[in-house]
Structure 1
Amino acid sequence: MSYRLTRYAHGGGCACKIPPGELEEVVRRLNGAPASQPAGELLVGLDDGDDAAVVRVDGDRALIATTDFFTPVVDDAYDWGRIAAANALSDVYAMGGHPVVALNLLAWPREILPMELAAEVLRGGMDVCSSASCHLAGGHSVDDPEPKYGLAVTGFGHPDRLLRNDAGRAGLPLSLTKPLGLGVLNSRHKATGERFPAAVEVMVTLNAAASTAAVAAGLTCATDVTGFGLLGHLHKLARASGVSAVVDAAAVPYLDGAHEAVRDGFVPGGSRRNLDWVRPHAALDTVPEDTALLLADAQTSGGLLIAGEIPGAPVIGELVPPRDGRTVIVR
């Protein structure tokens, strides 16, 4: 029997995230100093919604911790496992670190979907962790009405050579390492069963090389582009850094078929919510609504958005001094 995994999920991939505005309101209540100071110095925490938590271990090592999981984004179990693992590892790369050990997080409707499919999901995650030279050592599973998979990941970086979303400076170019359109193509796949091998290849590609290149170039500011879309993650980066960002819409790379997917109405609810959230903070009057939706498209295992230039990544804009209360200006 053939199973279409995306039919068992209300959303798909990072498009099923809680909307960014709602999430910020919830985590705002968690800020504050602990009653007793734990061991290690917290270098990156909740304040700016960065990609992972970072704690200084000693002068040369910082521990990077993150977790990420989501509902099926494609129907193939093995590919879903690979995509989810690459996406979870990306948070460590987005901080300028390298993953060391990961744990599986699996929710499975065991009375609806065969456990053989779950094994394929786990095999996909294991293969991606192996390609990242990251140990995958156990994890946790629950019986759940909706399938979900991801990883909890721990890595290391140098405390003085991190990539952070609050380290942007006016005058720096903005580079994007993967094309946009993953959300709308995945939405089309879920609705029609049409396969997009190029999109799968983008999602399973690790951000390791881009992260290494950015750190080697002495860059200090980056984030990965996932569930909140390019506009949402760029808004958070610009806000945290106290600057504005100008995006050249014509320079942004898109996957083949992405514009057609928007035209035909295959836009995830998460992408529309992203645009609604960022619109008050952005100047979007120079681009059509379809382009704005793609710029806000909820990506799954997207690329790195880097303040600086690295080989092979197109420059899509620049950071500038604050302008008119807007964090993002699209031209």
Structure 2
Amino acid sequence: FALISTTDFFMPIVDDPYDFGRIAATNSISDIYAMGGTPCLAISILGWPIDRLSPEIAKEVVKGAEDVCKNVKIPLAGGHSIDSQEPIFGLAVNGLIKIENIKKNNTAKKGDLLFLTKPLGVGILTSAEKHGVLREEDQGKATSVMTILNNIGEQLAKIEGIHAMTDVTGFGLLGHALEMAQGSKLKAVIKANDVPVLPEVQYYLDKSCCPGGTFRNIRSYGQHITGLTEENQKILADPQTSGGLLIAVSPSSVNEYITLAKRSGIPESAIKSFGELANGKGIELI
């Protein structure tokens, strides 16, 4: 067996402290699942402005993380806290995996098909909430997506035809797909209209709800991408928090993946390939 160790933390992206704790914990544990591992232990990392926010609110944040850890059946075994200018929370997580099952983000092969286990758009919805334009019927939808565990990764590790895997987070789908393609010395060809996206997203794009991180992402890697448009970049470079798993699947293992995805409750819109790996460099959007 191999030990996987990871840590992740950030400032609140939702107002509810309990949900903040749940999102942060789910996001941290996702790094273990993204390598195909099984989480076994977590400790918390808490920065709190004690002169401005009460300890009771911090307890709600930690309670959210505790409940996620209970769901995963791992202990939240203490942690460390400091006085900080802004609230910060996350976890350091350990996991285990059989060495032969480790999944990396730079081992895709030519002809592999690309899948994503969660729809894009949570950055756009949280931006809408910050701007005060989120519709009542859309309240909580981003949180629902961000708190879905990527525990399908444990089972994907056992499929030999899953050649590469990573979770999609702050660099957006394009950033993580580019990392996979470059690391594998291939090109990712992506059908922009086939990428799974939350149905509410276009409404908020029409209202100019787009996080600043999207444009920072494009500035950092846009030169490696052909086919970018003003509209598709706002979705495909949308920074995700606790996003889905980006998976490179051998054509011979697609049916096995789809069967597992359906059994695991992956949304129907996400059980569809939206691209493939080919000879070349960078990303081609078609």
What TM-score, normalized by structure 1, do the two folds share?
0.78
For residues 157 and 116 of structure 2, the distance between their equivalents in structure 1, rounded to whole angstroms, comes to 15
Contact 1:161 1:220 in 2 (8 A): no
Contact 1:284 1:292 in 2 (8 A): no
Give the alignment of 1:216-255 within 5 angstroms.
216-218=158-160, 219-255=162-198
User: Aligned residue for 1:320?
Assistant: 278
For residues 138 and 284 of structure 1, the distance between their equivalents in structure 2, rounded to whole angstroms, comes to 48
CA deviations on 1:237-273 (whole Å, 9 max, x unpaired) are 1111110001111111111321222221221111111
Given the alignment, which residue of 71, 78, 83 partners 2:11? 71
User: Aligned residue for 1:43?
Assistant: none
CA deviations on 1:139-175 (whole Å, 9 max, x unpaired) are 0111111111100011111111111011100100001
Given the alignment, which residue of 182, 187, 199 partners 1:256? 199
Does 1:191 find its partner at 2:143? no
Task: Tell me by how many angstroms 1:212 deviates.
Answer: 2.6
User: Aligned residue for 2:154?
Assistant: 212
Number of paired residues? Answer: 265
User: Aligned residue for 1:304?
Assistant: 245
User: Aligned residue for 1:329?
Assistant: 284
What TM-score, normalized by structure 2, do the two folds share?
0.90
Task: Tell me by how many angstroms 1:193 deviates.
Answer: 6.9
Unaligned runs of 5+ in 2: 262-270
Return the letter of the residue paired with 1:294: I
Give the alignment of 1:263-302 within 5 angstroms.
263-285=206-228, 288-302=229-243
For residues 275 and 198 of structure 2, the distance between their equivalents in structure 1, rounded to whole angstroms, comes to 19
Give the alignment of 1:1-331 within 5 angstroms.
61-192=1-132, 194=134, 196-209=139-152, 211-218=153-160, 219-285=162-228, 288-308=229-249, 309=254, 310-311=257-258, 312=261, 313-322=271-280, 326-331=281-286
Q: Secondary structure at the match of 2:47?
A: strand
Return the letter of the residue paired with 1:169: K
Contact 1:177 1:305 in 2 (8 A): yes
Unaligned runs of 5+ in 1: 1-60
Whose relative contact order is higher, 1 or 2, with alpha carbons under 8 Å and at least 6 apart? 2
Q: In structure 2, do the counterparts of structure 1 residues 234 and 142 end up closer, same or farther at CA, with 3 Å as the change threshold?
A: same
Q: Secondary structure at the match of 2:163?
A: coil
Return the letter of the residue paired with 1:304: L
Return the letter of the residue paired with 1:320: A
Contact 2:44 2:79 in 1 (8 A): yes
Contact 1:72 1:147 in 2 (8 A): yes
Return the letter of the residue paired with 1:114: S
CA deviations on 1:105-160 (whole Å, 9 max, x unpaired) are 01111111111111000000000011111211000111111111100011111111
